[in-house]
Amino acid sequence: METFDVGIIGAGIHGASAAFHLTQAGAKPVIIERTVPAGGPTGRSSAICRAYYTNPFLARIARDSIEMFEGFEELTGRDAGFRRTGLLYLHPPGDVADVARSVGKLNELGIETQLLDVDTLAERFPAFDFEGIGVGAYELGAGHSDPSAATSGLFDRAVQLGATPRIGLGVVALEPRRSGGAILGLSDGSRVACDTVLIAAGPWTRPLALQAGADLPLHAERHFVAVYRWAGVEPVPAHGDTAQGYYLRPEGDELFLSGKLLPEPPVDPDHLDESIHDDEAAWVAERLVDRVPHLAAAQVARGWASLYDVSPDWQPVIGEVAPGVFVDAGTSGHGYKLAPALGREVARMVLGEDTDRGLVDFHPSRFDDGRTLDAGYREAHILG
C-alpha cells in the first residue's frame, strides 16, 4: 500500500490551495478528486472576490487572497483571470450603525471601503432607485476571477512541487488509524495510507468525516446563478443588495451574473438539479428592475445551479476532528475568495505548526458548545 504524509480529499479550490501551500512547505501530499480540479461547486462559483466581511479574520484572509489573485501568475505560472471592478453594498436603514462600524474596521485592515449616505449614493449611481436603502459601502479593490483557472493554477503548481494527483478516483472508505490519519479506500479498489488526512470535499464532507467519528452539522443547499445580456443597456457596477437579497456582477463585456444572497432549503447533494428554472430567473429579474429600472431591457441569457455546503452559522468549519483527520469545509457560499490565503493556515494546521490565532474560532467544536459565529447582516449571512 502506498503511504503519504498527507492525503487531501477533494480538489475544489480549498483542497487545491491546501496542496499548493503544503508543497511550498516541503510536504508531498496525495490529492484525490473523483471528477477534475474545480469539477464540483468551485467551477460553478460566481467567484466574486471581496473582503467586505464582518468577521475580522475572514476580512484579512479575503484581503490577502485578493492580493494573491492579482499576483497569481507569479505564484503559480497561471493567470486567475482576476478583474477588479469595485463592489457596492446596499443596506436598509436598520444596518446604518453596523455598516459604519464595519467599514471603519475594514479600512483599519487596509481594505479600502467608502461609507456612502443615501444622497451620495444617488449622486454617484444615478441609474439606481434607492428605495428602502439607508446606507451603502463601496469596496474599491473587490472583483471576480476565473474559478477553474485559479484552482488549476494552484493544483498544477502543487503537482509540479511534488504532490501526487489521483484524478477521477473517489474516496469510498475512510478508516481512521489508531496512530492517527487514515487508510483511504479508492473507487478503483486501491488503498492509500495517510499519516494525516484533510477532508475538503465540499458538500460531500459530512459522510467522510462521519467515518472518522465526527458528525458535523453541515447541509447542502441548491443555489442558482442567472446570466443576463446587457443587450445595449448601460452596464451598472457590481453590487450586493442586502435589502432585496440579490447580487450582480459583470461577466466580460456583454453579460452579467446575478443570484440570491438568501438561504435556501436543504437538498441531497447527490441529486442536484443543475439547471436554472424560469421562476428563479424571474425572481432575480424583478428585484434587479426594482433597483435599476433600466435593466428591464436586459435579456435573460441562461444560468445554472450548484451547491453551497452550509454550516449552522454560515461560517467555515475548519479543524482536527479525529487524530490526524482534519476538515476544511462548510464554506457556506462564500468560500471561493477565501481559499488562496486560507490554504496557508490550513496547511500549517495539518502540519502541526502554529496558525493565525483567528483560525481556532472556526473549529467545529463550537457547535457542540452551543457557540456560533456572527455572520453578515440579518438573513444575508453569506456576507460572513
Ligand X SMILES: Cc1cc2nc3c(=O)[nH]c(=O)nc-3n(C[C@H](O)[C@H](O)[C@H](O)COP(=O)(O)OP(=O)(O)OC[C@H]3O[C@@H](n4cnc5c(N)ncnc54)[C@H](O)[C@@H]3O)c2cc1C
Which parts of this chain interact with ligand X (CB under 6 A)?
Answer: 9-15, 32-35, 39-42, 44-48, 170-171, 200-204, 223, 225, 306-308, 329, 331, 333-337
The nearer residue to ligand X, 220 or 285, going by C-beta atoms, is 220
Instruction: Report which residue's Cβ sits closest to ligand X.
Output: 202
Residue type, 148: S
CA–CA separation, 297 and 367 (whole Å) = 47
Q: Is the separation of the CB atoms in 52 and 383 below 8 Å?
A: yes
Residue with cell 474545480: 38
- Enter the DSSP assignment of 95: G
The nearer residue to ligand X, 122 or 272, going by C-beta atoms, is 272
**Least separation in angstroms between CB 329 and ligand X:** 6
The nearer residue to ligand X, 39 or 141, going by C-beta atoms, is 39
The nearer residue to ligand X, 307 or 359, going by C-beta atoms, is 307
Identify the three-state secondary structure at position 322.
strand
CA–CA separation, 39 and 29 (whole Å) = 20
Runs of H (alpha helix) within the chain: 13-24, 56-70, 72-76, 96-108, 118-124, 147-160, 205-211, 278-291, 339-350, 365-368
The nearer residue to ligand X, 210 or 297, going by C-beta atoms, is 210
The nearer residue to ligand X, 303 or 324, going by C-beta atoms, is 303
Long-range contacts of range 370-377, CB-CB < 8 Å, 24 or more positions apart? Answer: 372/312, 372/313, 372/315, 373/55, 373/313, 373/315, 374/54, 374/55, 374/313, 375/54, 375/55, 375/313, 375/314, 375/315, 375/332, 376/54, 376/242, 376/314, 377/54, 377/91, 377/95, 377/98, 377/99, 377/242
**Least separation in angstroms between CB 97 and ligand X:** 26
**Least separation in angstroms between CB 198 and ligand X:** 11
Residues in the chain, overall count: 384
Q: Of the candidates 202, 168, 154, which has an alpha carbon nearest to the alpha carbon of residue 306? A: 202
CA–CA separation, 20 and 8 (whole Å) = 11
**Least separation in angstroms between CB 43 and ligand X:** 7
**Least separation in angstroms between CB 201 and ligand X:** 4
Runs of H (alpha helix) within 212-291: 278-291
Q: Is the separation of the CB atoms in 237 and 327 below 8 Å?
A: no
* Residue 248, beta-bridge partner list: 239, 258
**Least separation in angstroms between CB 93 and ligand X:** 26
**Least separation in angstroms between CB 108 and ligand X:** 22
**Least separation in angstroms between CB 364 and ligand X:** 15
Q: Up-side HSE of residue 73: CA atoms within 13 Å toward CB?
A: 3
**Least separation in angstroms between CB 224 and ligand X:** 7
The nearer residue to ligand X, 294 or 320, going by C-beta atoms, is 320
The nearer residue to ligand X, 255 or 294, going by C-beta atoms, is 255
The nearer residue to ligand X, 41 or 312, going by C-beta atoms, is 41
**Least separation in angstroms between CB 132 and ligand X:** 23
Q: How distant is the alpha carbon of residue 221 from its chain centre? A: 14
The nearer residue to ligand X, 140 or 296, going by C-beta atoms, is 140
